[in-house]
Structure 1
Amino acid sequence: MRNKSEAITLGGLLLIAGSAVWLVLNDATGIRHSADHDGTIPMWERWIPVAAGLLVARLVPPRTPPETYEPPERALGVQAGVLLTAGVLFAVTLRLVGGGEPAHTLLKLLLLLAVPLVLFRLTRAVRVGAPDPATWRRYGPVAPVAVWLLLSHVGPAAVPPSSSWAGASPAYVLAGVVVVFAVNALLEEVFYRRWLQTRWERILGRWPAILLASPAFAAWHVGIMGTGDLTLDLASVFVNQGVQGLFLGYLWSNYRMMWPILVVHGAINVGQSVLYALGHLS
Structure 2
Amino acid sequence: MRKRIFTGVGLALLLVAPVALALFAGPDVRTSADAEAPAKPLAGIVAALVVGLLLVRLVPLRLPAIAPADAADRPALTRQALGLVVLALLLPALVLAVDPGIWYGPIKLALFLGGAALVLRIWRTGWRGGPTHRRSLPTRWYRLGPLPALLGWAYLLYYSPLAGSEDVSGYREYDRIYLLSAMLFTFVTASLTEEIFYRVLLQTRLEALYGRWPAIVASTMLFAVMHVHRIGDGPLWEMVAVMLAWNGGFGLLMGYLWARYRNVWAIVAAHTAVNSLSLLPVVLG
Structure 2 length as normaliser, TM-score? 0.86
Instruction: Please tell me whether residue 31 in structure 1 is matched to residue 29 in structure 2.
Output: yes
Corresponding residue for 2:123?
123
Once the two structures are superposed, the pairs formed by residues 76-95 of structure 1 within 5 Å of their partners are 76-95=77-96
Letter in 1 for 2:144: Y
CA contact (8 A) 2:216 2:256 kept: yes
CA contact (8 A) 2:220 2:255 kept: yes
Letter in 2 for 1:57: V
Moved more, 190-199 or 107-116: 107-116
Distance (whole Å) between structure 1 residues aligned to residue 240 and residue 197 of structure 2: 21
Distance (whole Å) between structure 2 residues aligned to residue 171 and residue 227 of structure 1: 31
CA RMSD of aligned residues (A): 2.5
Distance (whole Å) between structure 1 residues aligned to residue 100 and residue 163 of structure 2: 27
Distance (whole Å) between structure 2 residues aligned to residue 14 and residue 64 of structure 1: 26
Moved more, 178-187 or 37-46: 37-46
Corresponding residue for 2:154?
149
Instruction: Please tell me whether residue 251 in structure 1 is matched to residue 257 in structure 2.
Output: yes
CA contact (8 A) 2:63 2:259 kept: no
Instruction: Please tell me whether residue 11 in structure 1 is matched to residue 9 in structure 2.
Output: yes
Letter in 1 for 2:276: V
Q: CA deviation at 1:232?
A: 2.6
SS at match of 2:163: coil
SS at match of 1:101: helix
Distance (whole Å) between structure 2 residues aligned to residue 260 and residue 192 of structure 1: 14
Q: CA deviation at 1:217?
A: 0.6
Q: CA deviation at 1:178?
A: 2.1
Instruction: Please tell me whether residue 199 in structure 1 is matched to residue 210 in structure 2.
Output: no
Q: How many percent identity over aligned positions?
A: 32
Q: CA deviation at 1:67?
A: 8.0
Instruction: Please tell me whether residue 110 in structure 1 is matched to residue 136 in structure 2.
Output: no
Of Structure 1 and Structure 2, which has the larger fraction of its residues in helix?
A: 2
Corresponding residue for 2:145?
140
Letter in 2 for 1:142: L
Can you give the 5+ residue segments of structure 1 that lack an aligned partner in the other structure?
A: none
Can you give the 5+ residue segments of structure 2 that lack an aligned partner in the other structure?
A: none
Distance (whole Å) between structure 2 residues aligned to residue 85 and residue 265 of structure 1: 23
| Alpha-carbon distance change, 29 to 16 in structure 1, aligned in 2, over 3 angstroms | farther
- Deviation by residue 1:74-115 (Cα, 9 ceiling, x = unmatched): 11111111111211121122133236212x113312322221
